[in-house]
Structure 1
Amino acid sequence: MSKLQLKWAGVLALVLAACALLYPTFNWYSMTAQERDRLEASRLRPKWLLNLGLDLRGGTHLVMELDVSKLPQDADVKDAVDRAIEIIRNRVDQFGVAEPLIARQGERWIVVQLPGITNTVQAKEIIGKTALLEFRMEDDSEKAREARQKIAELGDPFEKDPDGIMRATQGALALVPPGDELFPGKESTFYLVRATAPLNGSQLDGASVSNGSNGMPIVNFKFKPAGGKIFGELTTANVGKNMAIILDNLVYSAPVIKSPIRGGSGIIEGNFRMEEARNLAIVLRAGALPAPVRIIEERTVGASLGEDSIRQGLKACLIGGVLIVLFMLVYYQLGGVFANLALLLNLLFLLALMSYFGSTLTLPGIAGILLTAGMAVDANVLIFERIREELRAGKPVRIAVDAGYDRAFSAILDSNVTTLISAMFLFQFGTGPIKGFAVTLTIGILASMFTAIIVTHMMFHAYLANRSVDKLHIG
């Protein structure tokens, strides 16, 4: 087998590998949306899959701001945002969202993109909940009972602040005994509890959902060994008293401790719907945010809009591709045929590599594909013009072809390297769609270097190998 044949065998192997990588993607998107949702819920997505971004698939886009005023004075804001991102990512992973984007934006903002999730209420409930779980003893002293009676006479002792959080009114706060705090209850009541929390959610080991004795959903929780020990000591010392279970400043229940609980586990009741109970279990398992977050931007992209974007993007690619193919065929003739074949291989390798790396295709990513197609053709234009110069100088066809590739290589390399540097900066400092553009541009440039320089050169060698050519038709 000749050296040229070995090269073609290698190219054929790459084409077969690319087709194998793309098959799961074609098979996946040939299914109905209901079938894909069912497989995603069961976590049966293919390993190698070209994902669609928010602008193509539809979903929810949120920009959240960490309330740094609620952090301790000596807290590192950057570290707090990093921890918040990790906790939000854990919650989203448990929620079962495929290929979410969760990234820092600026000093204290977090961008969350959830492809395929259009229920923004549920998304905000899971992602935005601070999930600060505390166990505090209810004050059953005579002074507390008198204070409760006076507070009840005021009417509703709570009002919403500008952020929509329930706060005690000034009149109610004036009646709270020293060492106590006033909290609203989930069932339209209020509780006076001790100001100190001997146990909180940081000691939780897990949380799950089951049905209680009355058939209503309940949330089961279990502590780590150290937390279980504290819980056992706390319940032993307070038999017959009420323990308030507080989540994000809301008392979900305040059961009576009937006997010491030494198993390190318990339940949270609150007349939940099953969906509410599952969401609560998710945020408890993922942990509490270091500070509350506010949603400052919210955008939902419908699935139909995403499908329309795909159609428009494919239409743009088709029109651009046809114009490029026609120009190359008309102007460069045989060279145009080789360049167009290389362009098809470039697109095949680009999509296959994106599938292998699990990249996400966005509308700017489609623009990146079109740009790389133009750059691949530009490389061939440089090569063909150099070959024409060599032919005009009177050199034989074979020598002119090799010299044309050699002379054009440095210019092609320089232009592609500078573009790669730009793409690296876009990927490093950009977010969401900008990163998608940078990824497709980078992979496309690398693929075009191979197809435009190596594969087309092999095509010329194959064309000239077994025939005597005195004139080369390249315009």
Structure 2
Amino acid sequence: MRLPLMQGYGFKLFAVVALVLISLWQLFPTIQNALNDRELAAMSSDEREVYEKENYEDLLETRESSLNLGLDLQGGMHVALEIGTGALLQELAGNRADDTFERAIEIANERAQDGGSDFVTLFADAVEEVRPNTRLARYFRNTDAGITARSSNADVVTYLRSEVDEALGRAEEIIRQRIDRFGVTEPLIQRQDGSRIVVELPGVDDPQRVRDLLRGTAKLTFHLTPPTQELQQAALRVLQYYGEGGAETAATTDADTTGTAIDTTAAGERVAAAGDSAGAVDLAQVTGGEAPSASGNSLADALRLIQVPEGSPIFGQVVARDTATVRRLLEAPGAQALLPAGVRLLYTANPEGVTPEGEDVYNLIGINERVELTGDVITDAGPDFDPYTNAPQVSITMNGVGGQRWSQITGANIGRPVALVLDNRVYSDPVIQSRIPNGRTQITGQFSRQDVEDIVTVLKSGALPAPVRIVEERTVGPSLGAASIRAGTRALIVGFLVVGVFMAFYYRGAGLIANIALVLNLLFIFGVLASFSATLTLPGMAGIVLTIGMAVDANVLIFERIREELDSGKTMRAAVDGGFAKALSAIADANITTFLIGVILFSFGVGPIQGFAVTLMAGILTSLFTALVVTRLVLDYLVQSRGTRVAFG
């Protein structure tokens, strides 16, 4: 026996119930994520850290499945990146660049700050200005691209523009891949005129991590390291040099200081026994309990030597706030002349310890300038864990050529450290224990899980074709986003209440039915947005408020037609049938044309306009369903099954 409610319109009831359940299911992660955030906010920092570690996977899955909020609702970062076109041209020129080329690049960089012409045009004009009648082909010969010594400057400019445009396209795609792996929901990444790329990252709460991720060129290189004794002696010589001549002398002293006999006794007294481990960083032993400081630009105050085991490539240790000062002092010509030939000094990527005052300390590592292997040979990279210590690490796999070369390097240098350098920072300097024949190796260090994920991201995305710099950065705080959410929610509630009260007052019983449909309409809109992982923005909330009015508009058309049918003397049942039939064309025309406008806005708009279009289109579909199905279902039940005479005003 069938229930009265199911007679004649069971499918409609099934469709409504199914959509309600699906919408609630899609919105459940959003509700759960809001409850989790509220629970975490009530915890202390220690309790929150423990809770997040224990429930990391569940919290991550809930956040990824919840309704996304835009930059204006949850805060985040707006970053404008500029591709280093000058560096790209220098790379294309290679060793053919001369003084004229370098001067032209400087002029083009200066004039590029004022905007106007593209960088290639500025460069070509600068070359003509520095050295008239110079053929650009002398710097950019490329037979594969058709650029020979006889090519005209116009042909070379066309070639350079195509190379720059291709590099911008590659940079945009690489940045997109990095952001996707970073885990930001619905980021906005688009090119602007010139050589800029705009990135908007909703929900980002670690700006420095984003900066490092976006700016890193991802150029991985492998270097052998010089003998420990050479590094330690060079460090003593440099310290003694600054002790005698000071920083001011270093900037003017020529390379003839290498011939000066240096008494290293004073500098030698600065070397403290900090343990047998290369990672020993108790600076209290090195500095007498005081953190080193580069006050007065004194290298002796900033650089501290530690006793390291044979084979370690550590040159010295520097507190984070002194790293720039030490680098400047060590790059002075006089200091450079005291370093071993063909050796560079780079900082470790992560701190190797802390001072008694809690400041980070970095190791200064000596590496051979010669590149033994580049990251171009890497075919795969992924996070991993050390089988003995369970510490996070990065596993990389090389192609056949890289694997063969890596086997030769490791086989010929057993017992010697090899430095893995990414973007001019030493990420790892392990000692080669044995030959590695399979082209697989690990990047180890004092990494957090997040550090490992970031390294994998830049390695998998590939190297940027040119350096990038951040020329504009804006951060939208969570408090501003919360204020936007409150304002949008208030507008939504007020709009709903005003419309609901009007419908109940003007249409009486029928108005209450319309309000039921309106509630379901809101539920369906948010369910659709959640199911398609759409991003809700402040303009999107405006679209929802607009949809409330449009949903009621369909009901108004239907109810007015039913009124006309009742006034003509028809029965309630016939009036309902006639009202829906006669209002259908007007409802369809209005909603279809508005939906097409939403499609156009979404196709050609960006950012906030797209957010508005998405909610508008979703609202139109759900309002049509609630007006034509939900309202009809309730009216049919009341009129046909219950015999109720519904009041239409």
What interval of TM-score do these two structures reach, taking the shorter chain for normalisation?
0.7 to 0.9
How far 1:229 moved relative to its partner?
1.2
Does the 8 A contact of 1:51 with 1:359 survive in 2?
yes
Give 1:286 deviation, angstroms: 2.8
How does the TM-score come out when normalised to structure 1? 0.76
Residues 468 and 279 of structure 1: CA distance in aligned 2, closer, same or farther (over 3 Å)? closer
Which one of the candidate residues 179, 186, 208 is aligned to 1:89? 179
Q: What's 1:459 paired with?
A: 634
Report the Cα distance in structure 2 between the residues aligned to 1:118 and 1:182, rounded to whole angstroms.
Answer: 38
Report matched runs for 1:23-422 at 5 Å. 23-31=28-36, 32=38, 34=40, 39=55, 43-45=60-62, 49-71=66-88, 73=160, 74=163, 76-77=166-167, 79-93=169-183, 97=184, 99-106=185-192, 108-115=196-203, 117-136=204-223, 155=250, 185-186=346-347, 193-194=369-370, 198-203=373-378, 205-206=380-381, 208=383, 221-226=395-400, 227-236=402-411, 245-250=420-425, 261-266=436-441, 274=448, 278=452, 281-291=455-465, 292-422=467-597
Is the contact between residue 393 and residue 443 of structure 2 (CA under 8 Å) also seen in structure 1?
A: yes
Does the 8 Å contact 1:63/1:295 carry over to 2? yes
Q: Are 2:540 and 2:608, in contact at CA under 8 Å, matched by a contact in 1?
A: yes
SS of equivalent residue, structure 1 residue 3? coil
Equivalent of 2:19, from 14, 24, 37? 14
Tell me, in whole angstroms, the C-alpha distance in 1 between the residues paired with 2:469 and 2:12. 58
1:438-457 → structure 2 map (5 Å cutoff): 438-457=613-632
Higher deviation after alignment, 78-87 or 217-226: 217-226
Measured in 2, the distance between the counterparts of 1:132 and 1:121 equals 20
Cα separation, partners in 2 of 1:85 and 1:47, compared to 1, 3 Å: closer
* Cα deviations by residue, 1:309-365 (Å, 9 ceiling, x for unpaired): 333222221111110011111222222112111101111222222232333322222
The CA deviation at 1:382 is 2.0
Residues 257-285 of structure 1 deviation map (CA, whole Å, 9 limit, x = unaligned)? 78755453556678x57578536633454
Same amino acid, percent of matched pairs = 35
**1: distance between equivalents of 2:397 and 2:72?**
42
Q: 1:249 to 1:371 in 2, by over 3 A?
A: same
2:394 and 2:452 in contact (8 A); partners too: no
Pair 1:473-2:647 in alignment? yes
Structure 1 CA distance for aligned equivalents of residues 501 and 623 of structure 2: 19
* Deviation for aligned residue 1:228: 1.7
| Aligned equivalents of 1:462, 1:212: Cα separation in 2 | 67
Q: CA deviation at 1:245?
A: 3.9
User: Judging changes above 3 Å, is the alpha-carbon distance between structure 1 residues 202 and 288 closer, same or farther for their aligned structure 2 residues?
Assistant: farther
The answer for the alignment partner of 1:425 in structure 2 is 600
C-alpha displacement at 1:450, in angstroms?
A: 0.6
1:45 partner SS: helix
Measured in 1, the distance between the counterparts of 2:618 and 2:509 equals 27
Contact 1:90 1:286 in 2 (8 A): no
Aligned to 1:436: 611
2:178 aligned with 1:3, yes or no? no
Matches of 2:329 and 2:556, distance apart in 1: 73
Find the aligned partners of 1:54 and 1:420 in 2 and give their Cα distance: 25
Count of residues in correspondence between the two structures: 448
CA contact (8 A) 2:392 2:447 kept: no
Q: Please tell me the residue identity of whatever aligns with 1:329.
A: A
Deviation at 1:416, TM superposition (A): 1.4
Going from structure 1 to structure 2, the CA distance change for 1:167 and 1:85 (only over 3 Å counts) comes to farther
Over the residues paired in the alignment, what is the CA RMSD in angstroms? 4.4
SS of structure 2 residue aligned to 1:30: helix
Q: CA deviation at 1:110?
A: 4.0
Please give the secondary structure, in 2, of the residue aligned with 1:406: helix
Moved more, 35-44 or 71-80: 35-44
* SS of the residue 1:474 aligns to: coil
1:212 and 1:451 map into 2 onto residues whose CA distance is: 58
Cα deviations by residue, 1:8-56 (Å, 9 ceiling, x for unpaired): 3442343334334433432332233537956455533278532333333
- Residues 126 and 282 of structure 1 are in contact (CA less than 8 Å); yes or no, is this contact kept in structure 2? no
Q: 1:255 to 1:41 in 2, by over 3 A?
A: closer
Find the residue that maps to 1:453 and give its secondary structure. helix
1:81 offset after TM fit, Å? Answer: 3.7
Q: 1:461 to 1:113 in 2, by over 3 A?
A: same
TM-score when normalising by structure 2 = 0.58
Q: How far does residue 442 in structure 1 lie from its aligned partner after superposition?
A: 1.6
- Equivalent residue for 1:160? none
**Residues 313 and 363 of structure 1 are in contact (CA less than 8 Å); yes or no, is this contact kept in structure 2?**
yes
Greater Rg over alpha carbons, structure: 2
Aligned AA for 1:104?
Q
CA distance in 2, matches of 1:279, 1:13: 40
**8 A contact 1:65–1:295 mirrored in 2:** yes
Letter aligned with residue 103 of structure 1: I
